[in-house]
Each structure stands twice: as C-alpha cells, then as structure tokens.
Amino acid sequence: MGVPPDVVLLRSADAEAPDRYRAACREAGLRAVCKPVLAFAFPQQAQLRTHLESADRHAALLVTSPRAVTALARVFSDHAPLAQRWAGRRAYTVGPKTAERLRSIGLRPRGADTGTAEALAARITNEAPDASLLFLSGNRRRDTLPEALRAAAVPFEEAVVYETHIRADLGLPAPKQEAWLVFFSPSGLDAVRQAADADVQDYRLAAIGPTTAEALEAEGHVVEAVADTPSPNGLVAALRAAAGPPS
C-alpha cells in the first residue's frame, strides 16, 4: 500500500492533466488525491436529439455546464448530419472551460468572459437574439439564469440533458497521520454521510469557500481552513495558514 495522502479533495480530477489542485498541493509539499462525490447520468439522449433536430427554431444554444457539453457531444458523435447542421452556430456559455469544449465540437461560444449567470444574462439581453435559445441544463441547475432571462423577456426552451446524483460508494483512505478533508460543495457532506467507511472525525476539515464552510458548521463540524478565493492557490494558502509556521 502506498503512502497515505495529506489532503483528500472531494472533487473530480480535472480532465486535463495534471489536476490543478493536486499540482498546487504537490508544490506545497503535500500529497493529495481526488475523490469525486457526484455521479452523472445522461438518460435523455433521445429527447435531446429531438430538440436539436429543430435547429431552425433556435437562435443559439445556452450551455453553462461541461456535463451538458458531454451530452451534446454524444448526440453529435452518433448523428453526424445533425452535428453538421449546428456547426458554427452560437452557443452562449459562462466560462472558458465550457467554451473550449463547445469549440471542440464545432460550435461558436460566446460569453466565456462573463463569469456569472447574471453577467451572461445581461450579455444575451443586450444581443437580443431573434429567436428562442435552447437551454441545455442539468436536473440540479440553479434558477439565477432562467429567472434573469424571463425578467428580460428573452425566450428560451429548456431541455434537461443530464442528471447529477450523490455517490453512494465514496471510499476515503484511512489516514495514518494528520490529514485534511477538503469540501468543495455541501454535496461533499452528503456523500460522506452516505459512505460506510468515511468518518469525518478522522480528518481536519477545509472548505473551498464560506458557503460550504457554513454548511459544514451548521452540521456541527469544525472547519479549520477556508479558502479566500475558490482556487488551487487559495486552498493551499488556507491550509498553510491553518497548519501554522513550520516547527
């Protein structure tokens, strides 16, 4: 058995190698592993194909999640003529990672620099699309974007194209020395709660931001490190500060 980790990251590893959070921990002298707490399913592929076949009804796609791009890419890979019909079409998104994935399947992303749902809604409203948007969402999506579009009278049609579930098979490495358990969302707590072999008390707890920290504390847990910014460097800085000066 290998050396146990110093940091357990309750998140999926980046698709691109190396994972940014593991790399930042490694640079700080910490061994880190990723343990995903969410599982994804794509049960609506036939319905998505039906929506996409009505391409002429829509001014653009609205895709704010990499998982929605995965669902889209699966349909395109199985139906090349449909992919060709959408090639070069606009696809609104909110960040660079999703934008890059959209570009890789032949779409023309816009809004990658907006960063928030509110800013993306403002961009779409300013551009005043001349037909409805096809909004590809997940079953746990937030209401911010659709509510902003409705308030601005921007028409859209929503298709739920993937489902997010809490993993019931989370396996945490048993720490043989002091180790951190890092939560990236309240969903992490749900997964740990369902795991038969996971005991939060075995770890020092950290959170990627104040909202997640508050959720943990509401359950009676002590959070010793909270990242000032939700980033690899922000997390490492919080862990270093909580560890104190080297002895």
- Please check whether residues 157 and 121 belong to one and the same domain: yes
59-73 pLDDT per residue, tens: 999 999 889 999 999
pLDDT at 2: 61
Other CB atoms within 10 A of residue 1 CB: 6
Of 9, 16, 8, 66, the residue nearest 42 (C-alpha):
66
In a domain, 204, yes or no: yes
- Please check whether residues 50 and 156 belong to one and the same domain: yes
Range of 134's domain?
Answer: 41-165
Q: Is the pLDDT of residue 177 over 90?
A: no
Mean pLDDT calculated for residue range 82-95? 95
Q: Is the pLDDT of residue 198 over 70?
A: no
- Please check whether residues 179 and 159 belong to one and the same domain: no
What six digits make up the tokens of 220? 């009676």
**165, 199, 216 - which closes a domain:** 165
pLDDT at 196: 67
CATH code for position 20: 3.40.50.10090
First-to-last C-alpha distance (Å) of the chain: 29
pLDDT at 230: 87
In a domain, 2, yes or no: no
In a domain, 17, yes or no: yes
- Please check whether residues 93 and 179 belong to one and the same domain: no
Higher pLDDT, 185 or 132: 132
- Please check whether residues 23 and 69 belong to one and the same domain: no
Q: Is the pLDDT of residue 57 over 80?
A: yes
How would residue 245 be classed by pLDDT, with cut points 50, 70 and 90?
Answer: low
Contact 24, 137 (CB under 8 A): no
What is the amino acid identity at position 175? P
Give the angle 149-142-212 at the CA atoms, nearest 5°: 140
pLDDT at 1: 44
Contact 40, 67 (CB under 8 A): yes
3-class state of residue 167 by DSSP: coil
What is the chain's mean pLDDT, rounded? 91
**124, 142, 165 - which closes a domain:** 165
- Please check whether residues 102 and 186 belong to one and the same domain: no
Find all residues with CB under 8 Å of 161, minimum gap 6, and list them.
42, 44, 45, 47, 48, 68, 71, 72, 136, 137, 138
